[in-house]
Amino acid sequence: MRIAVLSDIHSNLPALEAMLAAIGEVDAVWHLGDVVGYGPHPDEVVDRLREMGAVGVRGNHDAAVLGGLEVEWFNPEARRAIEWTERRIGPSTRAWLEALPDQLVLDEMTLVHGSARSPIEEYVTSGTSARASFELLATPYLLHGHTHVPVAWREDGDRIEALGPSHGSELPLDERRLLLNPGSVGQPRDGDPRASALVLDTEARLALWLRARYPVASVQAAIRSAGLPRPLADRLAWGQ
């Protein structure tokens, strides 16, 4: 089975379409939340995911748009984008977001946005936070996003090692437990502006990271035209 794993699309339809084209034919699409927020295409992104039968979980921006998190926790640009998205989305998008769980277990994979310890809000950015997720993980593998940076955390005996995947990097799905972060489709923050995602091949027992170029300038223009904060457009050019 070949599965596309997408996270942090953030209402960026051109990035989503470019990533799907780069991935090619798959048997399933899983998403790890933050489908909306920041970008100018919330309804369009949800429609595309619905059309593909994508399944997944809720992120902190998705929850905030629905009133499930206090917007005061977000920085000013993110807060303005959340408020804009809340006004902009249609009833079907709202219903789709409301139906998303905080956590989902699919076969040997647990899906969350943040971490096993705090499915919506915690960033896994250190060995300490990775270890906390491993201690709570009931499946061999955790798929998570939130940081906008592609990374894998591997448990090897008492050691936890961080692996920094690049385009085309492969990692075996073996007996060692893994936390797998595909990076962000719609707003990468690792210095690479290309959309980032992960493909799982359950037969070959491999995780594969991929990057895809998309028309950044057109998304920047749409962000500005929508009246969203200009820094949200500017940062797309350098992947920060």
- According to the model, what pLDDT value does residue 73 have? 78
- According to the model, what pLDDT value does residue 98 have? 97
What residues of the chain score a pLDDT lower than 50? none
User: What is the Cα–Cα distance from 48 to 14, expressed in whole angstroms?
Assistant: 11
Tokens of 173: 């799905």
Looking at domain 16-215, which CATH architecture does it have? 4-Layer Sandwich (3.60)
- According to the model, what pLDDT value does residue 240 have? 86
- According to the model, what pLDDT value does residue 60 have? 96
Please report the sign of the dihedral spanned by the C-alpha atoms of residue 67, residue 137, residue 25, residue 183.
positive
Expressed in angstroms, the distance from the first to the final Cα of the chain is 33
Q: Are 177 and 27 in contact (CB under 8 A)?
A: no
- pTM of the entire predicted model: 0.96
The closest alpha carbon to 147, from 67, 208, 45, 60, belongs to 60
Residues in contact with 17: Cβ distance below 8 Å, sequence separation at least 6, in sequence order? 48, 214
- According to the model, what pLDDT value does residue 191 have? 96
- According to the model, what pLDDT value does residue 26 have? 98
User: What is the Cα–Cα distance from 148 to 196, expressed in whole angstroms?
Assistant: 9
For tokens 């929850």, what's the residue?
63
For tokens 């499915």, what's the residue?
119
